[in-house]
């Protein structure tokens, strides 16, 4: 007995969601959404906790009073993107559908969805830093002039974040050209560290224990333009560097800073007997996603930008 369309959709949706987090270079950011409340649609609730510092203990009155404030901030996933695909009925039968559809959608997600989400997240993080404009945390006109230069720039960024009191795990997203210069600077002395994302452990280079995540330059912009898939010249969809966008060399942040959520809306699959537009299978792909940084962490991002301000 052939499986039904609901089962097809469940299998594909689960597979694609897992692959998205695994394939994105920014997939590690989704782990920070563990306490985010999501009940469908575009809205999420993000917890924000505030505590107080130590006071003097008194032998007569005991401990000074302290307070913990937990508030929930409602945020909206502003990115609502989708695409409809058709697979002609003559190209496959019922039993071959799930294999073919998984291959088609997997290729689509790797080539189009993953790069777009990465580029959107990185550009938004950079804009949080630019908007905050914390002293010394956004540096323009940093052309990579050699291996010793880039190593100094990265170490300066790490030190700037540490001096603000962020002593936990940091992450560096860097372009391939930056990582190449780091490798040349450190030669055989470059450290390696284990990087865990999406349930998979890999080995990546590190500076002072901070992992360097290789990120294509085409995902490292301060601003991108999203194509709507309908307007003339934008039919292909996807994204491109915005006219106001600048190239990012590298970006450093604490691992706990970005809160990212990506949710595939209920996938819909229509068989050829149901789909009226053509004698074909129809697959509706829709994905909500966004990224946020809480106000008390906006000063924790260091960005190196190639062009002048």
Six-digit token string for 260: 């990212």
Q: How distant, in Å, are the alpha carbons of 10, 157, 258 from that of 261?
A: 20, 26, 10
End-to-end alpha carbon distance in the chain:
63
Q: How distant, in Å, are the alpha carbons of 35, 195, 208 from that of 29?
A: 13, 13, 21
Six-digit token string for 268: 């819909």
Structural domains in the chain (count): 1
Q: Is 171 a member of any domain? A: yes
Q: Is 187 a member of any domain? A: yes
CATH value at residue 214? 3.90.1690
Q: Is 59 a member of any domain? A: no
Mode of pairing for the β-strands spanning 43-50 and 69-76: antiparallel
Q: Is 231 a member of any domain? A: yes
Q: Is 61 a member of any domain? A: no
Question: How high is the pLDDT of residue 4?
Answer: 54
Find where tokens 């470059």 sit.
190
Angle ∠(12,269,27) on CA atoms, nearest 5: 35
Q: Is 57 a member of any domain? A: no
For residue 160, give the H/E element and its range. helix 147-163
Domain that residue 124 falls in: 5-51+69-305
Strand order of the sheet with strand 210-214? 138-139, 302-305, 248-254, 170-174, 210-214, 200-207, 191-197
Please report the DSSP string for 178-236 in residue order: HHHHHHHHHGGG-EEEEEEETTEEEEEEEETTEEEEE--GGG-BS-EEE--SSSTT-TT
Q: Is 79 a member of any domain? A: yes
User: What gap in Å lies between CA 33 and CA 142, rounded to an integer?
Assistant: 33
Q: What is the DSSP letter of 294?
A: -
Digitized pLDDT (tens) for each residue of the chain, 309 residues in all = 344 555 666 777 777 777 777 889 999 998 888 778 876 667 788 887 788 889 999 999 989 998 888 888 788 889 999 988 888 777 666 556 666 777 888 888 899 999 999 999 999 999 999 999 999 999 999 887 666 688 889 999 999 999 999 999 999 999 999 999 998 888 778 888 888 887 788 889 999 899 999 999 999 999 999 999 999 989 999 999 999 999 999 999 999 999 998 887 777 888 788 888 888 878 888 888 999 998 888 999 999 999 998
Find where tokens 């949706």 sit.
13
CB atoms within 10 A of CB 108: 16
Question: How high is the pLDDT of residue 264?
Answer: 74
Q: Is 16 a member of any domain? A: yes
- In this prediction the pTM is 0.85
């Amino acid at each position: 007995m052939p499986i039904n369309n609901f089962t097809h959709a469940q299998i594909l949706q689960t597979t694609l969601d897992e692959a998205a987090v695994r394939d994105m270079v920014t997939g590690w950011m989704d782990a920070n959404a563990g306490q985010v409340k999501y009940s469908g649609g575009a809205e999420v609730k993000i917890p924000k906790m505030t505590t107080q510092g130590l006071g003097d203990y008194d032998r007569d009155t005991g401990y000074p009073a302290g307070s913990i404030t937990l508030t929930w901030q409602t945020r909206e996933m502003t990115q609502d993107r989708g695409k409809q695909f058709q697979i002609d009925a003559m190209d496959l039968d019922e039993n071959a559908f799930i294999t073919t559809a998984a291959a088609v959608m997997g290729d689509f997600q790797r080539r189009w969805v993953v790069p777009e989400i990465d580029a959107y997240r990185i550009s938004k993080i950079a804009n949080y830093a630019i908007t905050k404009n914390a002293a010394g945390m956004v540096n323009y006109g940093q052309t990579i002039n050699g291996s010793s230069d880039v190593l100094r720039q990265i170490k300066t960024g790490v030190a700037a974040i540490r001096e603000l009191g962020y002593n936990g795990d940091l992450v560096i997203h860097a372009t391939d050209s930056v990582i190449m210069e780091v490798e040349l600077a450190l030669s055989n002395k470059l450290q390696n560290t284990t990087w865990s994302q999406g349930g998979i452990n890999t080995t990546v280079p590190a500076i002072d224990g901070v992992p360097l995540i290789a990120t294509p330059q085409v995902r490292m912009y301060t601003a991108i333009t999203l194509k709507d898939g309908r307007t003339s010249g934008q039919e292909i969809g996807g994204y491109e560097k915005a006219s106001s966008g600048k190239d990012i060399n590298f970006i450093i942040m604490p691992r706990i800073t970005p809160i990212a959520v990506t949710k595939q809306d209920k996938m819909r699959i229509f068989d050829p007997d149901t789909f009226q537009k053509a004698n074909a299978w129809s697959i509706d792909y829709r994905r909500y996603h966004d990224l946020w940084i809480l106000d008390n962490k906006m000063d924790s991002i260091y960005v190196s930008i190639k062009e002048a301000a």
